[in-house]
């Protein structure tokens, strides 16, 4: 039973059907198959014969797949969002998520600096206690956002059996932005006393102030991010290829 | 067991008509629907039973059917029933089908008449 349904799942997902309707279809098919098998067993067939008969009545793989793929509304409603608008799913969405994470991290940095380090002219100093946790949240957002977003892209790509091109684009985009984004923190201070006074300025930018430094460092950072995010996907693809050949 | 013959025309508008007609009387889940079609058509309309679900899901998306999950005897099932929009759709489909069968019947009768003359 599982072989037929696994093959059907693969075929539907590869055709671009969204996972949710596929899951629902397979759940109902499984229930139906169990009913058919029970009916055939009650009619006196052996379990093996009952299973074969139930399969025959349920329909073959081509019919079951075509019943969903060939429907007129397939293109408009059953296609997953990632198939219908990959530019949005793997271009705009990661970009928006990354920017949101960085903005939030910057807000945490600026507010933490104001609250916990009012006399310091930089927020990048050792802190303790609750300040450590507070800044730690911002730091985690800043450093892990590109990785988590990359893993989300990989998860969606694997779950929906997407072709590699758009997820790869999303991963490269995420890695490049993750490697290029930098936070600059400044605070004006009095010339005579050197005591920092407000307001604080936390600026998020793709680093262009020191282009030569960026070129020297960022490609490695981007490559590391890309490797970290793409590795689970590659492992999954290898596993799927191995499973398919067995 | 050899696979049963299926009727390829089943997917061309007829399933919607049969399903809506069945569900107008009572709510049913997929297996019940297929068995009811089989029984009430004296097995003239035979179908790969699994293909009924995309039809059900499509009708539900169109608002002609509604579904709810019910647990009976420890088994959870999705039961379908007709909505008011589904009843209207059924009336339209039934009219079209009646006109079509009348026209075909007339055509077939005419054919016999021509043969009888010859």
- B14: domain CATH number? 1.10.10.10
Q: Searching chain B, which residue's CA lies closest to the CA of residue A48?
A: B1
| Domain containing residue B55 | 8-117
d(C-alpha A138, C-alpha A7), whole Å: 44
Q: B57 vs A63: CB contact, 8 Å cut-off?
A: no
pLDDT at A189: 58
Burial of A40 (0-12, 13-18, 19+ CB in 10 A): buried
Q: Specify if B3 maps to a domain.
A: no
pLDDT at B113: 52
Q: B49 vs A36: CB contact, 8 Å cut-off?
A: yes
Please tell me what DSSP assigns to residue A121: S
pLDDT at B21: 92
How many domains does chain B divide into?
1
Tell me if B15 sits within 8 A of B55, measured CB to CB.
yes
Query: Collapsing DSSP states into helix, strand and coil, what is residue A105?
Result: helix
pLDDT at A3: 76
For B48, which of A21, A49, A60 is closest by C-beta distance? A60
Cross-strand bridge partners of residue B66? B81
Model confidence band, residue A177 (pLDDT cutoffs 50, 70, 90):
confident
Q: Specify if B16 maps to a domain.
A: yes
Q: Any idea of the CA torsion for A152, A158, A164, A169, to the nearest 10 degrees?
A: 0
Domain ranges of chain A: 2-78, 81-245
C-alpha A98, offset from chain centre = 12
> Could you report the per-residue pLDDT of A66-84, keeping only the tens digit for each?
888 877 666 666 778 888 8
Q: Specify if B2 maps to a domain.
A: no
d(C-alpha A86, C-alpha A165), whole Å: 10
Q: Which of A5, A17, A131 is CA-nearest to residue A74? A: A17
Q: Specify if B57 maps to a domain.
A: yes
Task: Give B-chain residues touching A52 at CB under 8 angstroms.
Answer: 1
For B49, which of A49, A58, A77 is closest by C-beta distance? A58
Q: Specify if B1 maps to a domain.
A: no
Question: What is the mean pLDDT of the segment spanning A82-108?
Answer: 91
3-state SS, one letter per residue, for chain B: CCCCCCCHHHHCCHHHHHHHHHHHHCCECHHHHHHHHHHHCCCCCCCCHHHHHHHHHHHHHCCCEEEEEEEECCEEEEEEEECHHHHHHHHHHHHHHHHHHHHHHHHHHHHHHHHHHC
Q: B50 vs A63: CB contact, 8 Å cut-off?
A: yes
* B contact residues 8-67, partner A, Cβ 8 Å cutoff: 11, 29-31, 34, 47-51, 53-55, 57-58, 61
Cross-strand bridge partners of residue A201? A186
Question: What is the mean pLDDT of the segment spanning B48-73?
Answer: 90
For A43-100, the DSSP string reads TT--HHHHHHHHHHHH--HHHHHHHHHTSTTIIIIIB-HHHH-HHIIIIIHHHHHHHH
Q: Specify if B83 maps to a domain.
A: yes
Question: What is the mean pLDDT of the segment spanning A81-91?
Answer: 90
Q: Complex ipTM above 0.85?
A: no
* Between residues A8 and A1, the one the model is more confident about: A8
Nearest CA distance, A137 vs chain B (angstrom) = 42
Phi-psi map region of B16: left, alpha, beta (phi>0 left; psi -120 to 50 alpha)? alpha
C-alpha A159, offset from chain centre = 10
C-alpha A175, offset from chain centre = 13
Q: A32 vs B11: CB contact, 8 Å cut-off?
A: no
């Amino acid at each position: 039973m599982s072989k037929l349904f696994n093959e059907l799942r693969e075929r539907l997902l590869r055709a671009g059907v969204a996972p949710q309707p596929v899951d629902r279809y397979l759940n109902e098919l499984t229930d139906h198959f169990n009913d058919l098998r029970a009916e055939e067993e009650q009619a006196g067939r052996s379990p093996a014969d009952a299973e074969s008969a139930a399969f025959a009545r349920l329909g073959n793989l081509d019919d079951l797949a075509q019943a969903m793929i060939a429907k007129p509304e397939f293109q408009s409603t059953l296609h997953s969002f990632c198939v219908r608008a990959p530019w949005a799913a793997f271009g705009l969405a990661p970009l928006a998520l990354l920017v949101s994470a960085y903005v939030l991290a910057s807000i945490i940095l600026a507010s933490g600096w104001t609250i916990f380090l009012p006399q310091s002219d930089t927020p990048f100093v050792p802190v303790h206690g609750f300040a450590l946790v507070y800044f730690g949240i911002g730091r985690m957002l800043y450093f892990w956002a590109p990785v988590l977003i990359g893993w989300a892209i990989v998860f969606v790509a694997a779950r929906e059996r997407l072709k590699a091109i758009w997820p790869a684009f999303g991963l490269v985009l995420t890695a490049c932005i993750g490697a290029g984004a930098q936070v600059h923190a400044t605070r004006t201070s009095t010339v005579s006393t050197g005591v920092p006074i407000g307001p604080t300025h936390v600026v998020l930018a793709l680093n262009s102030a020191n282009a030569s430094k960026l070129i020297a460092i960022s490609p490695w950072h981007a490559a590391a991010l890309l490797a970290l995010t793409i590795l689970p996907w590659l492992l999954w693809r290898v596993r799927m290829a191995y499973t398919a050949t067995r | 067991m050899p696979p049963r013959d299926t009727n390829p025309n089943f997917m061309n508008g007829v399933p919607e008509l049969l399903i809506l007609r069945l569900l107008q009387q009572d709510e049913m889940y997929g297996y019940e629907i297929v068995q009811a079609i089989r029984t009430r058509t004296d097995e003239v309309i035979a179908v790969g039973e699994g293909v009924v679900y995309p039809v059900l899901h499509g009708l539900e998306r169109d608002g002609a059917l509604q579904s709810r999950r019910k647990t009976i005897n420890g088994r959870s099932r999705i039961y379908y029933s007709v909505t008011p929009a589904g009843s209207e759709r059924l009336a339209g489909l039934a009219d079209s089908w009646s006109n079509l069968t009348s026209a075909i019947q007339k055509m077939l009768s005419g054919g016999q008449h021509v043969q009888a003359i010859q």
